[in-house]
Amino acid sequence: MLEALKVRDFRLLWTGRTVSMLGSWLLVIAIPAHVYALTGSLLATGLTLVAEYLPPLLLGPVAGVLTDRWDRRRVMIAADLFRALAVTLMLFATAGHSLWLVYAALIAESTGAVLFRPAAQAHIPVVVGTGTGLSSANSLNAFTDGTVRLVAPPLGAAIMTLTSFQALIWIDIASYLVSAAAIALTTRRQALVGKRAPVDLAGGWKVLRSLPTAVVLLPLTAIFLAANAALSALLVPFGIQRLGGTEQIGLVVSALGAGFLLGAVAIRRLVDRVQPRYLLAATQLATAVAFFVLFSSTSLLVALPAAVAIGVFGSMTLVTPQTVLQRVVPNEALGRISAVFLSAEALATLIGALAGPLLAQTLSLRAAVVVACAVTAGGALAGLALWDRSRAAVSSVPARDGTGCGA
């Protein structure tokens, strides 16, 4: 999994990405808590989530065009500096009447992330190649993401309790500046993007339609994420009703995080050795079964192993499509294709997070779980059938090492 770290530019990119992500996730609990402390309103607190989801939904495809048209290294640096400036607005949100600054900062920060993420995803194959170095980079990123998501939110809450909300904001600002500095130290690469064909949204859709693999992966990924979000949204009420309370929920969440880390390690070899269509179908089916077992449990003896399994197979399900896309999509269009997938991810997650609780309230918690698990399993089986026509394209993709063309 550490193979990609042998490449200097990837070490710098990974360092910047990790530091900035840590700064952001320190605020996951802190921002809603701060808004609630200022207003006492559940609605105002919930709007923080809406503010984060709006930019990916509205700007994702446009951001993809920009990341394919501009130098991606500069895009990432500019996005980090913009996010550092955006987060600064929260320092002035000290009362209810200045709450709009928090929403404005969240929208601006998320806009920067919409630019950064497809640029980084498209730049990684340029830095490490599309062979084993790419699977190493993606599995390492997944492992790092899981670690940060597991550690940063409670750490941020502890820091806010011991110091202040403003101290966390300064940490987040510093994390973006460190990321920008690290990426600035990477090698400048000659931009070859856009010389052969216009870099626009229509061209991106044309590339997407010409790649059966990407066409199949887009709905499969969206369906999985929507069902996963629905089930995740039901985890807290389930834990209270069936497992005994918030402490038990915390243990289940920790088990999910541990499983995510294990899955990131396991996928390093599997993604290079197993056909993607079979790997993705198997991990999606296993995730559906593990979710069903978790929500059928009445004790931690069953719930914790099921949560670990969800993390393991869920991690594999996320890394596999990303690696396949980076290998089959021409790099000059990868920013646009990645942005389309990121927008679909945001929309699917938002729909699932709303549909799960709504279905549980309308019917029952059990019915909502059965529907979400059935959707996940059905998507996995449908993917096997849909992927028949693109199997040859996936199997014929050469595993190339090296740095590839400049971006």
- A 10 A CB-CB count for 228 gives 26
Given a cut of 50, whether residue 102 has pLDDT beyond it is yes
Q: Of residues 211 and 405, which shows the higher confidence score?
A: 211
Instruction: Give the pLDDT band of residue 373 (cuts 50, 70, 90).
Output: very high
Given a cut of 80, whether residue 400 has pLDDT beyond it is no
Given a cut of 50, whether residue 192 has pLDDT beyond it is no
- Work out whether the CA dihedral 38, 41, 43, 46 comes out positive or negative: positive
Q: Of residues 240 and 14, which shows the higher confidence score?
A: 14
- A 10 A CB-CB count for 2 gives 10
The predicted structure's pLDDT at residue 84: 94
Average pLDDT value for residue range 121-134:
85
CA dist., res. 338 & res. 62, Å (int)? 11
CA dist., res. 106 & res. 32, Å (int)? 11
When mean pLDDT is compared over 170-179, 260-269, 391-400, the highest value belongs to 170-179
The predicted structure's pLDDT at residue 144: 87
- The b/e string for 238-274 (b: 16+ C-beta within 10 A; e otherwise) is bbeebbeeeebbebbbbbbbbbbbbbbbbbbebbeeb
- A 10 A CB-CB count for 297 gives 19
The predicted structure's pLDDT at residue 294: 92
CA dist., res. 387 & res. 371, Å (int)? 24
Answer whether 212's CB lies under 8 Å from 328's CB.
no
CA dist., res. 17 & res. 13, Å (int)? 6
- The pLDDT tens digits for 27-58 are 877 888 788 788 877 667 767 777 877 888 78
Least trusted range by pLDDT, from 20-24, 167-171, 265-269, 287-291: 265-269
Q: Of residues 73 and 212, which shows the higher confidence score?
A: 73
Tracing tokens 């992966």 back to the chain, one arrives at 217
Write out the two tokens for 267: 């996928």
How would DSSP label each residue in 267-328? HHHHHHHS-HHHHHHHHHHHHHHHHHHHHH-SSHHHHHHHHHHHHHHHHHHHHHHHHHHHHH
Given a cut of 70, whether residue 403 has pLDDT beyond it is no
The predicted structure's pLDDT at residue 70: 82
3-state secondary structure of 186: coil
Least trusted range by pLDDT, from 96-100, 219-223, 366-370: 96-100
The predicted structure's pLDDT at residue 114: 87
Q: What is the percentage of the chain residues whose pLDDT exceeds 90? A: 17
Tracing tokens 């495809």 back to the chain, one arrives at 61
Which of 115, 89, 108 lies closest to 51 in space, CA to CA?
108
Q: Of residues 166 and 68, which shows the higher confidence score?
A: 166
How would DSSP label each residue in 83-149? HHHHHHGGGG--SGGGTHHHHHHHHHHHHHHHHHHHHHHHHHHHHHBSSHHHHHHHHHHHHHHHHHH
Considering the chain, what is the average pLDDT of its residues?
82
The predicted structure's pLDDT at residue 197: 46
The predicted structure's pLDDT at residue 404: 38
Given a cut of 50, whether residue 406 has pLDDT beyond it is no
Instruction: Give the pLDDT band of residue 359 (cuts 50, 70, 90).
Output: confident
Given a cut of 50, whether residue 333 has pLDDT beyond it is yes
Residue type at position 59: L
3-state secondary structure of 158: helix
In angstroms, what is the C-alpha Rg of the chain? 21
The predicted structure's pLDDT at residue 146: 80
Given a cut of 60, whether residue 357 has pLDDT beyond it is yes
Write out the two tokens for 184: 């600035």
Main-chain phi, psi angles of 392, to 5 degrees: -65, -40
CA dist., res. 407 & res. 403, Å (int)? 11
How would DSSP label each residue in 335-354? HHHHHHHHHHHHHHHHHHHH
